[in-house]
Each structure stands twice: as structure tokens, then as C-alpha cells.
Amino acid sequence: MLGYRLQKRDEPWNWGVPIVIVGALVLSFGISALLLELQGKSAVQGLLVLWQGSFGASWALEDALLKSIPIFLCALGVATAFRMQVWNIGAEGQFALGAIGATWAALTFPDLPGIVLMPLMFICAAIFGAFWAYIPAILRLKLQVNEIISTLMLNYIAILLLEYLVFGAWKDPASFGFPVTPEFTPGAIIGQIGDSRLHWGFAVCVGSGIAMWAFMRFTRLGFEIKVAGEGERIAMYSRLPYGMLTILVMAISGALAGWAGCIEASATINRLQPSIMVGYGYTAIVVAWLARLHPLYIGISAYLLAALRVGVENMQLELQTPASFGSIMEGLILMSVLAGQMFVTYKIVKKK
Amino acid sequence: MSQTDFTRPECQKATGFEGCAPLISLKGITKRFGKVVANNDISLDLYPGRIKALLGENGAGKSTLMSMLAGRFRPDEGYIEVDGKRVDFSNSKDAIKAGVGMVYQHFMLVDTMTVAQNVLLGQEGGFFVNPKEMEERVRKLAEDYELEIDPSAKVSTLSMGEKQRVEILKLLYRESRVLIFDEPTAVLTPREAFRLFEALWAMTRQGKSVVFISHKLEEVMAIADEVAILRRGNIDAEVSRDKITSKADLACRMVGKEVILEVDKEDVEIGDKVLEVKDMTGIGLRDINLEVRKGEVVAIVGVAGNGQQELVEGVCGMRKPPKDKIFIMGKPWRKFFAEMTWNNSMSYIPEDRLDLATARNLDLVDNLLLSTRQGFSAGPLLQHDKAAKVAEELVEEYDVRPGRIRALAWQLSGGNLQKMVLARELYRQPHLIVAEQPTQGLDISATEEVWNRLLEARKMAGVLLVTGDLGEALQLADRVAVMYCGQIMDEFSVNDKEKVDSIGLLMAGVRE
């Protein structure tokens, strides 16, 4: 095209990865600025407000850190599945099930001391989330159902299930008709670290991030997951239990998203209500890709996308941009990063 | 055999094209993929009214050559002439414009449209085309070439043979003068195949040139006017059909027997049975009996697609054979694989080095761990350092280049990758080695290395060697088994001169 063509590189352009990511970010912010101008708003002011809201104040930094907790856990989960080329798009639903599981424990045993109740909530959240991820895994293995579609559709079912519970069986009689559960007892609420707004859920993130990194790097099972991601035929040649591994990665994925749901319900809103579903599970997919599935980079990109969310909220307040502007920016970033990855394996050369 | 009835009736002969200039000439075409030469200085003329069969084993370079003719690759050296004028195809559109069309094994049709719509799809002309007229045009074209088809039928309702006819019509409608068929009968029933041949004859009568890629000997015998045999990227022979006396003659020409390399083979003590196949019928095979003992090499030879792959996959656990027919190291198949350990067991060196024996995006250490990871386990942990050390040693010992253990599998040339696979599989100290086309695509020095290693391995293992190269089988094997149509035709010692000379016949399915 136009005298240029694509040629495959002999070696992947590894040191070009940061360039590609920065380039993709610049491109998506450029397009966002253009969109602001189209709405008749000043693009410069818009990006300034966005920056202010994201990084310009201590409350913004803290807010972003809080939001990055559930995003990080969901992203860590989907990255595990992605590494095996199992496309789990269902972190959102698994997150919802985790919140449901934790809430069930919190409402059923409100009088247990925190030291017993809290682990119980995490266990329930993990089991519920893992179960939700197990369904598409089994469907894929037994009936060759494409997991992209089944995980995505299960998200909607999960959200409806959550609403059904909150509007019905678990509705707080003292809520004046609002769809919320009773507030959790103190034993079911994750406490703050010191006198900051940051809560101990952050420690869970750090712990599971390190654990996942070590698992993938040092254990045989981690290695087997990596190999299984290279294709089913190689898995067969290497005598890997491909089906078992698929179930395992989906269960890990679901459990981590479940924990995110548990932490959100317990630490952030102290109860279950429909507004808990704000799309962290979808942001997590963007985060995992930006980070190329590496746990440390997932931490960084989770924070950046959380900051973007906070910044966009600020823009909404100050510039009255529509609420979906954040999703548009997120989508732009994902698309341009994915498209940019082409340059890692291909280069553009002049036609002879 | 009903298939052998396909001889060309006298009335089907294309006449009036004698002495015509070639439609297309390939001039000194060379194509390399990395260090591997897929096509080496190939020249070929395609004449109007003639069917040229291109015969060769898998990996001989047939598909590469035809892909260049169809504009999908560009040759590294040499060029193509159309009607005596040099052309340069940069994509398949150019090739189609020049009158070259290819019918691939996988059809590219829109299932929900009718035959006529598919044929006219993407054609220039008015925006609105009258369906009646469209169908009429296609009907006329089909009749001219004796392709029986209903132009108004939906493609999704057609049989494989009918779909193929639609593909052919697409090319004829674009006025292709050279039609290339890549193993066209692979998807057809014998009856459909015969009808395809009639259509091919009809095309030649109209002055088209046909290239027929196949490794089914009887079909080539039946329909070709001339046969070009490709071996290891070279045109080994180009003969007119009249010069070929029999199927066996053709088989011999195809596999060749010339010695490209000789290796010394010392005697090794013969030990226990490590593989036994007893009266196995199923998974595409019939009445297979086979035995491999420690210390010997048993070669399976035959034209590709006669059941060798099924046999190997059955033995190596890639597909499930019938119960209690295969015994490995004395254990029934199911028990063997349930109890299989990483070492002192079985090694499989597959034909597909990249994407089966190795994972292209993993480095050499990870690829070493692919089949040896149990040996590097400490509880749930994997000893990467120890594996890296072993990988380092193996790379050194087998001279795998480049000598970096962090190189990714796809960055290695075929020969070096094969050495790495061999190094890994022999490191496992196997008692049974199944090697499938172990030297395909390798240069002489790599071939020699692989041969010597396999002979060396006889001290610990029995080797089942599956090869399309008769020279290789005769150099390495103690015994040779010839496969044809899923059966073992005969099995004999390589020292049995008389039998060895009859291998060509056996491969063609002829028993004296």
C-alpha cells in the first residue's frame, strides 16, 4: 500500500514495547482531545482537568489506589487464563459472584468474630467466583463452547442474580425500599491501614501478586500452564493434562475476581448493592493486556487505569462530559495498544 | 482395484496442440526459507492441452513451487514466463490476470450463496446482474467442460465433489489457462474422482494446461501426459507418461535409492521386545503386526498417506488405538501411558519439529523441559537452574547453533532444531524411539549427525523409523516394513536383496 509493505521481523522488537505503549497512549489521548473539541469543550483544559483529577491531589492518588485494588485482582486472574490462551472475559461476573459469596457469609454468620468471619468470607468468595468460571471451562471442554461468548454471557446472568438477591431475599427491611442489604457487622468489614483511607485489601493484592509471580516462575504447574498456552497439540505431545489445566486457570481466575468482589463489598461499601458493579472486570482485561500479563506491570497499569477512572469522574464534574467518556478512553487505549503490538512482530519497509 | 481403471480413453485425447509453445515456463526458480532450500533451480514448461503431474513426498517442495506460480510467494532466483514474456507476480491477483488459477484443498466458497453467485462473486460487470442470466452463463460454462452442476443450488447443500466443481468454474470463468490442482482427489470419492478426471480431459481438449499435484501413483498413471518428480527441492526427473512402464517404476523414481551418504553401522546386541503391535485393525489401519527389539532399527517405508501417520500416532499416544493391540515395553498401551515416566521409557521425534516437538515461542531451556520436566521437579517446584545447565551441556554436545540456550525455538534452523529435539529425547534414555522423517529438510551434515545419533541410540533402545526416503531406510534399518493402504505389505531384512528390490512394487500395492 502506498509503496510500503509489512515485513515480519527476524527477532521480536522487544525494546520497542515501551515505545509502542507510549505511542498508543499518546494516540488515544489525542483522539480523546479531539472528541472533547467536537463537544465544544477545550481539549487543553479537559486534559488538564483529567491530569488534576488523576494525579494532581492526594485525594486523587488515594482514590486511584483504592480503585486499583479490585482492578488488580481481576486483572491478575484474567492474565492467568490468558497466558493459557483461555479467553476469560467473565471477570465481571466472577467479581459479582465473589461479592455474593462474601455477602452470604457476612449475613449468615454476622456474630462471628472478624478473625473467623473474614477468612470465611474470602473462602466463600473464592469458591463462588471459581464456580462461575468453572461453568464456561466445562462447557468448553465437553461441548466445545467458545469461552469468550459463554464467559461474557455469564456476566449478565451474574449481575441479574446479584440484583435479584438485593431486591429480594437479602433486602434490608430498614432501607426504605432501596435495593441494598443490611450493613455488614464490624467483623465482616476490612479495616483501614493506620489512619489512611487505604484498607488491608491492598495487602491481599501485594500478597497474591507475589504468589502468582512465584507460582508461574518456580512451580512445575506454572510451567505447564505456560506450555499449554502454546497450543493443544504441543500440550498433547508434552503429555499435559490440558483439560485439568483449563479448569485450574479458570478457577484461579474466578477466585481472584471473587476476592475483588469480596473486598469491594466488605471494605468499600460495607454491604451489597447493585452499584458495586462498575465494570472493573472489563477494565481488568485492558490492564492485563497493557501489562503483557506480567504481575508487576499489572500492578502499574491497574493503578494507571484506576487513575484514569478517577480523573474522568473529575472531568464529569467540572466539564459535564458524559459518563461514558471514561469507557471510550479505555477502549481507545486497548485498541491502540493491540494495534500497536503489530510493530513488535512486523516492520514497515519500502516496496522494492 | 477399481481405481486402476482410470485410464484415459482414446476419444478423450486432446489433439491439435502438438508443437505448441509452452503457455508458462518456470526458469531456474530457487526459493529458500532461511537455510533450507525448498526449491532449487527448477525449470518447468507447461504446454496447452497437456496434464502435467507433479509428484513428490511431503516436503519435497511441490506446494512451494506452485504457490510461486499462483503468486503467493516470490522466487529468490529465477523467473516465470507467460507466453514467452517474463512476468513478475506480486500477489495472486496478478497470477489470475495472467491466467494461472489454483484449486486448493480447502475450498473458498460462500456457503449461503448459490453456485452461480459464487462463480460470479468479485467479477467486474454491471452492479445488478440478472439471476437468470447469471445462472445461464454458468450453466453454459459448466456444459462446455462437462462439469455437472445445478447453478441455482446453494453451496451449503453440495457434496465435496460439487464444491470442487464450483471452484473450477470460478477459475474457468476468469479464463484461467493454467489450472493447478493441489491433491484434488484427497476429498473425493472414487466416482467423483473419475468425474473430475473427465473434466480435466475436457479442459485439455479446449487447450488448457493442467498441473496435477498428487502422491497417488495410480491417478498419476491414469491421467498424466508427463510426470515431473520432485525430490528434496530438485526436479529429479521429468518423463513422459509413455516412458513409465508401471506403477512400481513410478514409485521407484519417486523415492529414489541413490546413496547420498553412507554411515558405518556396527553390530549391536539385540535385546528385549520394546514394541509389539498384534493384529491391529482400526484407526485407519488393517492387520498390523510389528515388532521392535532393543538394539535394532525397524524402518517403515511407503508413499506418504498410506497409514504411517496413523501408526505413529497410535504408538505414541497421540490417538487412541484399539484395546490390547499395542504393547510398549511389555505393557499394554493404556497401562504404559498411565504409568509412563519421563525417562527409561519412550521418545517420539515427530516430523513436525516446530509446533509439535517444540513450542516456537519458548526458549531452549523451556523446550528441554517440555518432555523432561518430571526429571527436574523437586516437589511442586521446577529446577530451572539445573535444566539450564543441562541445556547448556546438550547444546554444546550436539553443536546446536546459535549456541545460546535463551534462543527461541523458531529462531533455530530446521537442522539445529532437530538436533535439539534429538538431544532432548536421547537425554531421556529411552528404550523405544519413534522417529518420523527425522532428516526431512536437513542438509547433508545434519543428516549425517542425526543418522549417527540414531545408530548410537540402538545401544539403549529399539528404533522405529518412519521415512519416505528409501536411502535412509536402507542405510539405518535392520528390517524394513512396507506400508500400503493402511497395511504392512511385507517385512524383511535389509540384507534380503531380492525383497529390497521389490520395495517399489510393494509400495505401489503390488504383491508378486
pLDDT in tens, A58-116: 888 999 999 999 999 999 999 999 999 999 999 999 999 999 999 999 999 999 998 99
CA B460 to chain A, closest CA, distance in angstroms equals: 22
Could you give the C-alpha distances from B90 to A95, B93, B96, in angstroms and in order? 51, 8, 11
Q: Rounded to the nearest 5 degrees, what angle is found at the Cα of A94, between the Cα atoms of A91 and A96?
A: 110
Set of cell numbers at residue B139? 450453466
With CB atoms and an 8 Å threshold, state whether A220 touches B381: yes
Identify the pLDDT of residue B455.
Answer: 94
Q: What is the phi/psi pair of residue B292, to 5°?
A: -130, 130
Q: What is the residue-wise DSSP string for A11-37?
A: S--GGGHHHHHHHHHHHHHHHHHHHHH
**What's the pLDDT at A344?**
83
Partners of residue B406 in chain A, C-beta under 8 Å: none
| CATH code for residues B273-358+430-507 | 3.40.50.300
Task: Select from A220, A230, A236 the Cβ nearest to the Cβ of B359.
Answer: A230
> Does the beta carbon of B380 lie under 8 angstroms from any beta carbon of chain A?
yes
- Checking phi first, is residue B355 left (phi over 0); if not, alpha (psi -120 to 50) or beta? left
A189-239 tens-digit pLDDT: 998 888 888 999 999 999 999 999 999 999 999 999 999 999 888 999 999
According to the model, what pLDDT value does residue A176 have? 84
Closest residue of A to B361, CA-based?
Answer: A230
Q: Which residues pair with B292 in a beta bridge?
A: B275
| Nearest residue in chain A measured CA to CA from B350 | A237
Task: Evaluate whether B233 touches B40 at the Cβ level (below 8 Å).
Answer: yes
B361 touches chain A (CB under 8 A): yes
CB contact under 8 A, B381 and A218: yes
A22 Cβ under 8 Å from any chain B Cβ: no
**Alpha-carbon distance A226 to B51, whole Å?**
49
C-alpha to C-alpha distance for B405 and B415, rounded to whole angstroms = 16
Please name the residue of chain A whose CA is at the shortest distance from the CA of residue B368.
Answer: A238
Q: Do B318 and A238 touch (CB under 8 A)?
A: no
Is A230 in contact with B360 (Cβ distance < 8 A)?
yes
Q: Kindly list the distances between the CA atom of residue B308 and the CA atoms of A235, B195, B302, B468, in Å, as whole numbers in the listed order.
A: 22, 29, 8, 10
Restricting to B residues 46-85, those with a Cβ less than 8 Å away from any Cβ of A are none
Q: What is the pLDDT of residue B10?
A: 64
pLDDT tens profile A242-267? 999 999 999 999 999 999 999 999 99
Nearest CB to A233 within list B355, B369, B382:
B355
Are B224 and B52 in contact, with CB atoms under 8 Å apart? Answer: yes
Select from A167, A166, A158 the least CA-distant residue to A95.
A158
Of the residues B343, B373, B376, B406, the best mutation for testing chain A's interface (the one with the most A CB atoms within 10 Å of its CB) is: B373
pLDDT digits (tens, 9 = 90+) for A142-169: 999 999 999 999 999 999 999 999 998 8
With CB atoms and an 8 Å threshold, state whether B361 touches A223: no
Q: Do A226 and B355 touch (CB under 8 A)?
A: no
Q: Does A220 touch chain B (CB under 8 A)?
A: yes
Nearest CA in chain B to A214: B381
Coil vs helix vs strand at B413: coil
Chain A residue nearest residue B359, CA to CA: A230
Angle at A127 between CA A126 and CA A133, to 5 degrees: 90
Give the pLDDT of residue B2: 40
Q: How far is B357 from chain A (nearest CA, A)?
A: 7
pLDDT (0 to 100) of residue A21: 86
Q: Does position A10 have pLDDT exceeding 80, yes or no?
A: no
pLDDT at residue number A93: 97
Chain A residues closer than 8 Å to B361 by CB? 230
CB contact under 8 A, A237 and B318: yes
Looking at the complex, does the CB of residue B384 fall below 8 Å from at least one CB of chain A?
yes
* Any B CB within 8 A of A238 CB: yes
Q: Where are the beta strands (DSSP E) in B390-455?
A: 432-436
Measured between CA atoms, the residue of chain A closest to residue B341 is A239
pLDDT of residue B1: 37
ipTM reported for the complex, 2 dp? 0.82
Distance set, CA A297 to CA A159, A209, A326, A346, B85 (Å): 29, 10, 21, 24, 58
Cα separation, B188 vs B184, in Å, equals: 8
Q: How many CB pairs under 8 A join A and B?
A: 53
Give me the count of residues in chain B.
Answer: 512
Q: What pLDDT, on the 0 to 100 scale, is given for residue A101?
A: 97
CB contacts, 8 Å: A10 with chain B: 411
Which of A11, A230, A237 is closest, CB to CB, to B362?
A230
Question: Is the pLDDT assigned to residue A37 strictly greater than 60?
Answer: yes
CB A151 within 8 A of CB A284: no
Question: Which stretches of chain B score pLDDT less than 50?
Answer: 1-4
Q: Is B357 on the interface with A (CB under 8 A)?
A: yes
Instruction: Tell me the residue type at B367.
Output: N
Rg over CA atoms, chain B:
25
Of B355, B382, B411, which is closest to A223 when you measure between CB atoms? B382
Q: Report the residue of B382, B383, B436 to disrupt the A interface, i.e. the one with the largest count of A CBs within 10 Å.
A: B382
Closest CA to B356 of B386, B316, B391: B316
Q: Give the one of B359, B369, B380 whose C-beta lies nearest to A221's C-beta.
A: B380
Give B347→chain A minimum CA distance, Å: 10
Measured between CA atoms, the residue of chain A closest to residue B34 is A10
Cell readout for B65 is 513451487
Characterize A92-129 residue by residue with b for buried, 16 or more Cβ atoms within 10 angstroms of its Cβ, and e for exposed: bbbbbbbbbbbbbbbbeeeebeeeebbebbbbbbbbbb
Q: Which residues contact residue A223 at a Cβ distance below 8 angstroms, ignoring those fewer than 6 apart? A: B366, B369, B373, B382
Q: How many residues does this entry show for chain A?
A: 352
Q: What is residue A179's DSSP assignment?
A: S
Of A221, A227, A233, the CB nearest to B370: A227
Chain A nearest-CA distance from B250, in A, is 35
Residue of B nearest to A234 (CA): B356
A-chain CB neighbours of B336 within 8 Å are none
Q: Which residues of A touch B373 (CB under 8 A)?
A: 220, 223-224, 238
Contact B380 A226 (CB under 8 A): no
- A239 touching chain B per CB within 8 A: yes
Question: Closest by alpha carbon to A220, among B386, B31, B21?
Answer: B386
> How far apart are alpha carbons A299 and B429 in whole angstroms?
44
Decide if B382 and A227 are in contact by the 8 Å CB cutoff: no
The shortest CB-CB distance from A238 to any of B371, B380, B382 is to B371
Helix (H, G, I), strand (E, B) or coil at A260: helix
Of A137, A138, A140, A133, give the one whose Cα is nearest residue A154. A133
Confidence of residue A268 (pLDDT cuts 50, 70, 90): very high
Interface residue A233 vs chain B (CB under 8 A): yes
d(CA A67, CA A198): 10
Interchain contact A7–B (C-beta under 8 A): no
Q: Is A224 on the interface with B (CB under 8 A)?
A: yes
Annotate B111-157 with DSSP letters as a single string.
TTSBHHHHHHTT--S-SS--HHHHHHHHHHHHHHTT----TTSBGGG
- Give the pLDDT score at B3: 42
Let me know if the fold of B2-106+160-255 is the same as that of B273-358+430-507.
yes
C-beta of residue B149 within 8 angstroms of C-beta of residue B169: yes
In chain B, where the domains are located: 2-106+160-255, 273-358+430-507
User: Is the CB of residue B411 less than 8 Å away from at least one CB of chain A?
Assistant: yes
Chain A residues with beta carbon closer than 8 angstroms to that of B384:
218
Domain B2-106+160-255 classification at class level: alpha beta
Alpha carbons A153 and A294: distance in angstroms, whole number: 27
Chain A residues lying within 8 Å of B377, measured CB to CB = 220
- pLDDT for position B6: 58
Cβ neighbour number for residue B226 with a 10 Å cutoff? 18
Residue B254 phi/psi, 5-degree rounding, is -70, -45
Strands (E), B146-195: 178-182
- The greatest distance separating any two alpha carbons of chain A, rounded to the nearest whole angstrom, comes to 77
What is the distance in angstroms between the CA of the first residue and the CA of the last residue of chain B?
A: 15
Could you say which of A10, A219, A237 has the minimum Cβ distance to residue B382?
A219
Give B386's contacts in chain A (Cβ within 8 Å). Answer: none
Above pLDDT 90, what percent of chain A?
A: 64
Chain A positions touching B34 (Cβ under 8 A) are: none
Q: Which residues of B touch A226 (CB under 8 A)?
A: 362, 366
Are B362 and A237 inside 8 Å of each other by CB? no
Angle formed by the axes of helices A91-108 and A58-83, to 10°? Answer: 110
**Torsional sign, CA A32, A34, A35, A40:** positive
